[in-house]
Amino acid sequence: MNNGRGKARKIMGKNCLIELVRYDPERILNVYTFKKEDPLISDIQRQGISVKVVSKKELTALVDTESHQGFVATIKDKNNPGLKEFLEQPRKKSMVVMLDSIYDPQNLGAILRASECFGVDAVVWSKNRGVDITPVVSKASVGASEIIDIIKVSNLVDAIKKFKKAGYWVVAADADETAKPLNSFDFPEKTLLIMGSEGKGLRDLVSKSADYKVYIPMFGNIDSLNVSQATAVFLSFSRSSVDGNE
């Protein structure tokens, strides 16, 4: 099963569109802009994609925000794998990020961006407990939402069990009394990293499913990072940990 196959949706943001033109231009159905002269327009038209010049007001109305950087596009959804299909692919090393109740689109976009930058294989979240891929998410991700595999599941706990069966170790970002400091933790070669919401953290059933709990030691006056910043820190350490053990 592929998530979202055949659907059309909108993305916004110049950088997001640049990445899609570079990596998957066949998915772009049409582009709207109020800019009559921009090098990106020529790149888009060379791919045979229609570019329609509209007013700034019309462009804003398409995505209900003025944060579009002058570009909006209608695209076909990426053919993301289903969970079963993903787990059937043989991998000796793998990092997957699972999100528990992330509703802020800016945070989701930033998490997707960090995940793509650090070579994450997929990002997983619940269909019912998280924000969808919106134009705000696509812009915040700087195009990562259109590159990285995204897997939406019905139940996170059931999905965790399937990851374990496929040989993944479950690492939860959680600072309870059993948690280990990130700077002294060695990530397994196949890791499912679970990040929770900023306000409530991980739900109990999700937290109890973890094999390890890990926290980021803090040294300043502010005692926490937002979830997207924390994800980037975890992924940086995980990459160093796995690469250092080669």
Q: Where are the alpha helices (DSSP H) in 93-134?
A: 105-117
Quick one: what percent of the chain has pLDDT higher than 70?
A: 93
- Give the chain's radius of gyration (CA, Å): 19
Average pLDDT for the chain? 91
Mean pLDDT of 10-21: 94
Which residue shows structure tokens 């790149």?
A: 43
pLDDT in tens, 136-187: 999 999 999 999 999 999 999 999 999 999 999 999 999 888 899 999 999 9
- Of 115, 141, 149, 123, nearest to 236 by C-alpha is 115
CA–CA gap between residue 112 and residue 231 (Å, rounded): 10
pLDDT band at 4 (very low <50, low <70, confident <90, very high): very low
pLDDT in tens, 184-214: 999 999 999 999 987 777 999 999 999 999 9
The token pair at 238 is 């995980």
| CATH superfamily of the 83-244 domain | SPOUT methyltransferase, trefoil knot domain (3.40.1280.10)
Model pLDDT, residue 246: 54
- What are the strands, taking DSSP E only, across 162-241? 169-173, 180-181, 190-196, 212-215
Query: 204, 101 in Cβ contact below 8 A?
Result: no
Positions of CATH 3.40.1280.10 in the chain: 83-244
Q: Which residues pair with 236 in a beta bridge?
A: none
Model pLDDT, residue 7: 78
Q: Which residues contact 2 (CB under 8 A, 6 or more apart)?
A: 79, 80, 81, 82, 85
Fold of domain 8-76: 60s Ribosomal Protein L30; Chain: A; (3.30.1330)
Model pLDDT, residue 158: 98
The token pair at 9 is 């949706």
Q: What is the Cβ-side half-sphere exposure of residue 198, based on CA atoms within 13 angstroms? A: 15
pLDDT in tens, 77-100: 999 999 999 999 999 999 999 999
Query: 98, 192 in Cβ contact below 8 A?
Result: yes
Classify the C-alpha dihedral 55-56-58-62 as positive or negative: positive
Positions of CATH 3.30.1330.30 in the chain: 8-76
The token pair at 227 is 């979830």
Mean pLDDT of 17-25: 93
Q: Which residues pair with 195 in a beta bridge?
A: 99
C-alpha torsion angle, residues 223, 228, 230, 236 (rounded to 10): -150
